[in-house]
Amino acid sequence: MANEIVYSGLGDLVLAETLSAEYVLLLADRNALPNHPALIYVGDLTGSGSIVAKVRELGLMGYDAMATTAEGTSVANTALTDGSVQITIVRKSKRYERGDIARMAEPSGLISAEMFALDAVVTGALELTDLVANLVDNFSTTTGSSGVDASFENFLDACTALEVAKVPPQYMALLHPVQWGDIRKDLALAAGGAVQWAPASQEALRVRGIGYQGQLAGVDVFTSSRVPTANAGADRAGGMFGRGAIAWADARPIADLPAPFQQVIGDKILYELSRTAAGGLTAFTSHRFLGAAEVLDAAGVTIATDA
């Protein structure tokens, strides 16, 4: 037998492989933080005349107690306690550059201007998560032990510390997935039966991936892989905080060039196209302008546990 027509011999007539219409995104933490009551949004600084927002602190509404004063004796003046914290807006940017031939050869539109614009919106929303995650490890009050798995006890200790500091709820916890996984395991295996089988505990055991995990002990729990390491990388330092601990501000960009060369997308992202004609290249650049700062140190607790 000879001259059979088989697939392996059709090198000039068939492709080695074809592209599926489906594609799979590489794994990444794509969960942005919501407008939670524990986070103070100072506002949009566009047109304010400054890129720095000042958050004022005022010791009123019960901050100072009354003094016992004898009849006929004048009460002494009480010093008014005040202070302030500054939040500076910074630019966060990302740029992709695509060649003309690459665009012509790629048939599915996955490296198109529209896809890069969508990426800009998603990535821009995650910048607040980054800022908050890099502040929750700074609180002076801490719970947990280096090299030891996070536990439900650590979680409750953080709640108690906030209550002792007179922080009003609603509390928010931002933890690394490893920390939350250890707390979840402790709830299932080591906590007392009254806790193990409580409806809230059962709900906390549900696997939801990264992001919002529901409430535990009345605290809204979020997980993020962006929570920083601590103790030379041995641990992760998440945290729990209430309103007053962290404030943030942003600025809405202004597009000076006509679309599509420059436009504001998602209300807060400046998206730009620029052309290098000599090299046959098109660049897709996105910017977001925002900042965050710790305001009341006592309104937060760092939870540092084994990574």
Look at residue 10 in the predicted model and tell me its pLDDT: 67
Average of pLDDT values for 128-132?
95
Structural domain contains residue 75: no
Look at residue 17 in the predicted model and tell me its pLDDT: 75
Structural domain contains residue 232: yes
Taking alpha carbons only, the member of 97, 139, 114, 121 closest to residue 30 is: 121
Distance CA 198, CA 191 (A): 11
Instruction: Give the rounded percent of residues in the chain with a pLDDT score beyond 70.
Output: 92
Average of pLDDT values for 297-307?
96
Structural domain contains residue 19: no
Structural domain contains residue 23: no
Look at residue 4 in the predicted model and tell me its pLDDT: 55
Tell me the pLDDT of the chain averaged across its residues.
Answer: 90
Distance CA 302, CA 285 (A): 35
Q: How many domains does the structure of the chain reveal?
A: 1
Look at residue 20 in the predicted model and tell me its pLDDT: 75
pTM of the predicted protein model = 0.87
Structural domain contains residue 266: yes
Q: Report pLDDT digits (tens) over 1-37.
A: 676 555 677 677 767 777 777 888 888 888 899 889 9
Structural domain contains residue 13: no
Distance CA 279, CA 138 (A): 46
One DSSP character per residue, the chain reads ------GGG-TTTS-S----S---PPP---------TTEEEEEE-TTSS-SEEEEEEE--SSSSPPPP--TTPPPPPPPPPEEEEEEE-EEEEEEEEEEHHHHHH--S-TTSHHHHHHHHHHHHHHHHHHHHHTTTT--S-EES-TTS---HHHHHHHHHHHHHTTPPSPPEEEE-HHHHHHHHHHHHHTS-HHHHTSHHHHHHTS---SSEEEEETTEEEEE-TTSPEETTTTEEEEEEE-TTSEEEEEE-----SPTTTEEEETTTEEEEEEEEGGGTEEEEEEEEEEEEEE--GGGEEEEEEE-
Q: Report pLDDT digits (tens) over 257-291.
A: 998 899 999 899 999 999 999 999 999 999 999 99
Structural domain contains residue 69: no
More confident residue, 239 or 17: 239
Structural domain contains residue 74: no
Taking alpha carbons only, the member of 247, 250, 249 closest to residue 269 is: 250
Structural domain harbouring 190: 35-56+85-307
